[in-house]
A and B are shown apart, each in its own frame.
Chain A
Amino acid sequence: MLAHALVFYLFSFITIASSLAVISARNTIHAVFFLILDFVSVSCLFIMMGAEYLGMLTLIVYVGAVAVLFLFVVMMLNVNFKELKSGFLGYVPFGAFIGIVLLIEIGIMLGTWRYKDKFIKTSEIEIDNDFSNTEAIGNVLYTDYLHYFQISGLILLVAMIGAILLTFRRKDNLKRQDITKQVSRERADGVLLSEIESFKGVKLND
């Protein structure tokens, strides 16, 4: 048990340290890499708590896909640090406002922690140890929360279509490759063998 606790706190330490590094790293690429480290250690925490399905899903979705796109975009941006720093003071009031709101929220949350049993029913779903947690999630997600699940899928689809529409530009006289047309081309379509009589030539129809 001791070793388990030690490893758990090691991962939690890495999680917190790397998320601090995300906001304090000077180089934006380094910040994204720290974010990836953060995701990986969060998924390790999930696995250590016995939620291996969630852990793997975090790895696949966040690290394998979302963070790759982040990295993609950040690499393409040419960030000028001096220019960023010059406007620093202008953002201070707004930043301070957000900071104060967050602080108050954390204060409210910690202050009402001891009343949480009265407001939130901790678990209505009974935990059955015969199921693996993949099955348990599936049982809840595709029965009780089916509509929410489908609606969230639909929202993502709409967002995707919107993003495609925003970046779509129709170009006229664009030559596209039609692979079936290319593959179905026969020899007779492209090659003409003809006996050419001297001083008469051939008529080409094009």
Chain B
Amino acid sequence: MRFQDAARDGRAVVYAGIQADPLVARAAALLAEASHAQRVLARAVMNGEATDPAGWRTMFPTLFGEGGAGGASEDDRARSEAILAASLAVAERGEQVRSQFRGAIVEALTADLLARRVGAASVRRERRILFDGVRAEIHPYDVTVERDGAAEAHDCKWGARGINADVLHQLDDARTHAAEEDEHLTIGLVVFDAERSCRVRLDRQSAPNGSTAIIGLESLDALATGVPRP
């Protein structure tokens, strides 16, 4: 089993520009430190119709209320404001571009959290995994952890609806091929959505997923503390 940079086709070049946008790094850094409710705020705003910040503050009284319900501290309110501003900046970019930004942000957030556990040098983006005698997948894995004996491959989705047969097969195929080479490969699907929604989506899938760790909004922080388990 070995890792390789993905081919730089036209789509990859355009997407690399999105990934390199400072807004992506800023949003990911804020979300890496965020609470669960703050991550839901980001999801709602980046999915939303409204671009009026006051309306979003009203929708999240526990994040923006001064010592009210939930009693947000000054630091928490400041982080919520920063997340709101970054999320609105994404939402204001138009439907197609915002979709690309959302995907890039989830990938950057995943890489950031994984790097806290394994170190940034072991975390790579947009990598293919090659196995002897197996034709390489066209689509690269979003985030990989490349360490001898403890490799990981993660795909990232903005919403539970992104869970589909293709991504489940690709992840499980990689795990299976690794096992055929006596290598262990942890596979995960990071979804910036509620685990309840992920379960509903998974229940409708016949593709293999019993060995895939599903990391939803509620458990994102676990990426930084331990190897994800199915």
Q: Do A and B come from one complex?
A: no
- Residues of chain A having any CB pair with chain B under 8 Å: none
- Residues of chain B having any CB pair with chain A under 8 Å: none
